[in-house]
Amino acid sequence: MILYHGTNNDSLVMHAGLCLTDDAEIAAEYGKNVHEVEIFGQALRVEVSAEDRDMVVYPGDRKSELAAWAAAGWSMVRFADETCNGSQHETWRLTAVAS
């Protein structure tokens, strides 16, 4: 699957907790440089309440969550997200990075 990460950094460093989207235009809202990444693996769908989105609380914000999902065999979690400008989109967040 091809996903995108928007950042103001020139390079992309893969790490646990990295957020990606399937929409390059949405990724561009996060930064001027959009990096394309090919990802393999299974995503666990996690529901995010409107209240959590308003409070900017998202799955995987805690390292313990990422570690637990990785231990359970999930390579990423998927959830409904929105940019600072309110553009709604799907996010895939890496639970770990394969060596």
The residue ranges of every structural domain in the chain are 2-94
Cβ-Cβ contacts under 8 Å for 11 (sequence gap 6 or more): none
**Mean pLDDT rounded to a whole number for the chain:** 91
pTM of the model: 0.89
pLDDT band at 99 (very low <50, low <70, confident <90, very high): very low
Q: What is the pLDDT of residue 56?
A: 75
**Which residues contact residue 6 at a Cβ distance below 8 angstroms, ignoring those fewer than 6 apart?**
21, 26, 27, 28, 29, 30, 31, 32, 33, 34, 35
Cα 32 to Cα 98: distance, rounded to the nearest angstrom = 27
Across 20-24, 51-55, 78-82, least confident range: 51-55
Q: For a pLDDT cut of 70, what percent of the chain falls above it?
A: 98
